[in-house]
Amino acid sequence: MFTDLDILKVIMEWFFEQDPRSVVLAASAIGAGLAMIAGIGPGIGQGFAAGKGAEAIARNPQNKSSTMVMLLGAAVAETSGILALVVAIILMFANPLVDKVNGSAFDLVLVGAAIGAGLSMIAGIGPGIGQGYAAGKATEAVGKRPKFQALIMRTMFLGQAVAQTTGIYALIISMVLMYTNLFANFIPQ
């Protein structure tokens, strides 16, 4: 019967038998894929905004400004997906971690950093949904009260900016994992 320690030992032995650069590149590919999970949020948020846009137009067909509010709000809801895309592209094509591979135990930290960089971007799901929700509600409000479009849009954009903060935090953590050697002091060379 394998214990957790035996499994870890087998994994570590396998890891050190591989070309470290290849392992870091493989982890980066996994991280890039994981980062794109953040695209779920904008998809849900934009769908919500579009649905509310359709409801607003159905209630007040003469009010064309509801469509503009919906499109602007949906565009902002896309930001967390774009941040995740940037991280995924960096991991795949401009990976700063690969240059740090030196054939030591530190390479395992690089593998973790690559996967962690992608995992951190999953936090982009929340802002995408929240921003889409704000866009949907703003579109709905403009459909009901077109005279207050400017005030409603300002409020929507302010709320969306606040909702994006967790996506920005995720981007910062992802970049720190890729571009710094925070853990280098803890690994014996």
| Position 189 pLDDT exceeds 60 | no
Say whether pLDDT at 185 is over 60: no
Closest CA to 89 of 33, 164, 42, 20: 33
pTM over 0.85: no
Query: How big is the CA angle at 83 (ends 98 and 35), to the nearest 5 degrees?
Result: 60
Average pLDDT over all residues of the chain: 85
Q: Say what the pLDDT of residue 184 is.
A: 52
pLDDT of residue 181: 59
Indicate whether 141 pLDDT > 80: yes
Where are the domains positioned within the chain? 22-180
- The stretch 39-59 carries a mean pLDDT of 86
Q: Which amino acid is at 20?
A: P
Q: Using alpha carbons, list the distances in angstroms from residue 2 to 8, 10, 14, 15.
A: 10, 10, 16, 18
Q: If you average pLDDT over each of 14-23, 30-39, 180-189, which comes out highest?
A: 30-39
Look at residue 162 in the predicted model and tell me its pLDDT. Answer: 84
Q: Quick one: 22-180 is in which CATH superfamily?
A: lithium bound rotor ring of v- atpase (1.20.120.610)
Average of per-residue pLDDT across 36-57: 87
pLDDT of residue 123: 87
Q: Mean pLDDT, to the nearest integer, of 125-151?
A: 89
pLDDT over 70, % of the chain: 94
Q: Whole-angstrom Cα distance, residue 52 to residue 58?
A: 10
pLDDT digits (tens, 9 = 90+) for 25-36: 888 989 998 999
